[in-house]
Amino acid sequence: MWVSRFNALPSACTLGAVSDAAGDRLRYAGNQPYAAQLAAMRPHIAKLAALGARYNANAIFHTHSGIGVVGASIWDLCMLLKDFDPAAVGVNYDIGHATVEGGLGGWIDSFNICGPYVRGIAVKDFLWARNARGRWTPDWKPLGEGMVRLPQFFSWWRRRISRVRFNCISSAGTAISKAARKKCSRR
């Protein structure tokens, strides 16, 4: 989760409501009911939303894939945010992770579910590959070289949402060239 205006970040961190550590994620404890865990997270989200409103900032949760990760399936993150102002707290929707979780068309449903809260778009691409232990895992690729339906996503997104910020960053964290953007739009 990160804050889109850095002047609010120190205050948010002081309250313990946000972390700027890369890879920091809300996770479920496997031995407790998810509904109770989500309820326990709500006061922290309330503090974050209050800060967002106070400083005219928007804190956004980056969606990740994985077992036990809050927001991986989207419905839980939307339940967590549903009573808060989307202008204060929202979602940084990652189409790469959404495709990992939602495959063929689940990313469409997950985007529809969290649509009003989408305040940022992250774009990644991947192919499934076996790791050293023989387990299937996402193998992050340069945009246009994986299985994420980027042209379909961009076309679909453009027709629905216009208020989000968009950062085109590769899986390696580098800016994408015009040539790569053009390749993705032709697919």
What is the Cα–Cα distance from 39 to 51, expressed in whole angstroms? 20
Cα 52 to Cα 5, 56, 150, distances in angstroms: 9, 6, 31
Average pLDDT over all residues of the chain: 79
Rounded distance, CA 58 to CA 53, Å? 8
Domains in the chain and their CATH numbers?
2-186 (3.20.20.150)
- The residue among 141, 147, 143 whose CA lies nearest residue 168 is 143
114-164 pLDDT per residue, tens: 888 988 889 999 999 999 999 999 999 999 999 999 998 888 777 766 555
pTM of the model as a whole: 0.77
Residues 6+ apart with CB under 8 A from 46: 84
